[in-house]
Amino acid sequence: MFKAMPIKRLRLALASAAVALLTAACIGFPADPTWGTMMLVGSPPRIMFAFNDRIVQVNPVDGSLVELRDSEGRVRLDEQGNPRVWEVRSAGANGPATFYTAPIIVDEDTLLVAAFDRRMYQVDWPAARILNPDGIALAGHIVANPLATENMLYVPFSEGDLVALRRPGFSEVWTLDTPRGIWSEPVLVDGTLYVASLDHHLYALDAETGAERWRLDLRGALASKPVYYEGHLYIGSFGRRFFKIAPTGQIVAEYETRGWVWGSPALVDGVLYGADLDGYVYALRDQGTRFTPLWEPRQVATGAIRATPVVANNTLIIGSRDRMMYWLSRITGEELVRRQMVGEVLGDLLLLEPSETLNIREPMVVVSTMTQEELLVAFTVETGERLWVYRR
């Protein structure tokens, strides 16, 4: 075939293919910058899920979108007579916004949502309506959830600062400037704000004034929220370590991992459960000044494990970038069940337990992916049976 084809045409075809490939490589492949966030809100409880171009509320019983109702409880209808669902989208003068962080509950009628495109929106919660379509300009991108208290709002920016705002007017009170940005939610304990930064430092600040109490170099970027448990802080770093830290800023214990640690650990009954980006899962007994493995670290997944493991009874539930969900024995680390997903599991898992207000039959774990076919998937905790899927 090539012999018969004129050489010039063949060279032109090859050159065109080269240019096309080069252009494709230059343009790159669009992808969401980060994963979605779930939170349980309201009464009866609903799953609020922020991802990509919208925020929705999903019924935890069956995964259906929550319908809008008027003050008398009647379902609101659109012009075609279809039920309106609770869904927030923005299409203001700046174009459609994208949402990846948890909305901030201002009061029972109002939410604040930070969009990735550096804008903040006020939302009428019952009506799912954005009150300021053009948004309020922010100083940078936000990839981590802001922390809201009764009086303050702490907003972490991915390029550098953490800004403390006083409620209700949201006036700026103080700012923490870090050279590499903050990709995790701060933690407030007894008036001290703990902030983990990509600049390798864990900061302890006076929550009211922003005065620095101490900072600790943990020899690797920190992308996860510290966990406060029985008087100490626990956190993992890209430096391949789990740390136990005293409130005074000293490292009490540390444990070396195989891969970078991104997600926050889970602490239950004196045992730290965590995972790393090489797919290893750890169960470490906290024995004061050292960690000892409950069982040998296991490479459970072939992809990164970013999310915090869910601990439910004697089961450890893990989601991985290799598009799998794993159920492990908390006691032995042995794999019990695995389930195939369509998309990568990078967002945090949500554990739901039956209660008077949450009308579900049995404990379930809800998983988010970055794939439209399986944005949210609910499994039973015990057997990993798939209960429902929310898709777009």
- Rg of the chain in Å (alpha carbons): 23
Choice between 7 and 93, CB closer to another protein: 7
Beta bridge pairs of residue 310: 317
Binding mask 112-151 for another protein (x = CB under 8 A): -----------------------------x-x--------
CA 170 – CA 112 distance, rounded (Å): 11
Answer for the pair 220, 258: CB distance below 8 angstroms, yes or no: no
Q: Is 239 in the site for another protein (CB under 8 A)?
A: yes
**Among the residue ranges 65-73, 103-111, 249-257, 259-267, the one whose residues contact another protein (CB under 8 A):** 259-267
Contact status, residue 272 vs residue 266, Cβ threshold 8 Å: yes
Stretch in the footprint of another protein (CB under 8 A) among 25-33, 102-110, 292-300, 376-384? 25-33
Query: From the CB of 69, what's the least distance to another protein, in Å?
Result: 36
Find the binder of another protein among 121, 174, 183, 243 (CB under 8 A): 183
Q: What residues from 305 to 364 belong to the interface with another protein (CB under 8 A)? A: 306, 321, 346
| Residue 175 DSSP class | E
CB of 205 to another protein, least distance (A): 22
Judge contact between 341 and 309, C-beta under 8 A: no
* Binder among 1, 6, 150, 231 for another protein (CB under 8 A): 6
Helix (H, G, I), strand (E, B) or coil at 11: helix
Q: Which is nearer to another protein, 21 or 131 (CB)?
A: 21
For the four alpha carbons of 252, 257, 259 and 264, in that order, the dihedral sign comes to: negative
**Residues with Cβ within 8 Å of residue 102, at least 6 apart in sequence:** 37, 38, 39, 48, 50, 145
Q: Choose one: 102-110, 177-185, 265-273, 382-390; the region binding another protein (CB under 8 A).
A: 177-185
Residues 379, 59: Cα–Cα separation, whole Å:
14
Q: By three-state DSSP, how is residue 373 classified?
A: helix
Token pair belonging to 227? 């966990």
Give the one residue of 76, 167, 180, 339 binding another protein; rule: CB under 8 A.
180
Least distance CB 112 / another protein (angstroms): 21
Q: How far is CA 262 from CA 71, 120, 304, in A?
A: 43, 26, 9
Q: Pattern of binders to another protein over 263-302, x per CB under 8 A?
A: --------------xx------------------------
Q: Tokens 């889970």 map to which residue? A: 266
Complex with another protein: residue 67 or 117, whichever CB lies closer:
117
Cβ(297)–Cβ(271) below 8 Å: no
Of 141 and 201, which has the nearer Cβ to another protein? 141
Distance of CA 151 to CAs 148, 157, 166, Å?
8, 20, 6
Determine the residue type at 218: L
Q: For residues 125 and 183, which CB has a smaller minimum distance to another protein in the complex?
A: 183
Least separation in angstroms between CB 98 and another protein:
11
In the complex with another protein, the residue whose CB is nearer, 143 or 317, is 143
x-or-dash string of contact with another protein, 187-226, rule CB under 8 A? -----------x-x------------------xxx-x---
Closer Cβ to another protein, 17 or 211, answer by number:
17
Say if CB 245 and CB 235 are below 8 A apart. Answer: yes
* Chosen residue from 247, 259, 363, 384 binding another protein by CB under 8 A: 259
Angle value at C-alpha 223, between 217 and 227, nearest 5 degrees = 80
For 140-160, b where at least 16 C-beta lie within 10 A, e where not — what string? bbbbbbbbbeeebbbbbbbbb
Residue 302: strand pairing partners: none
Binding site for another protein (CB under 8 A): 3-8, 10-11, 14-15, 18, 21-22, 25-26, 28, 31-35, 141, 143, 158-159, 179-181, 183, 198, 200, 219-221, 223, 238-240, 259-260, 262, 277-278, 304, 306, 321, 346
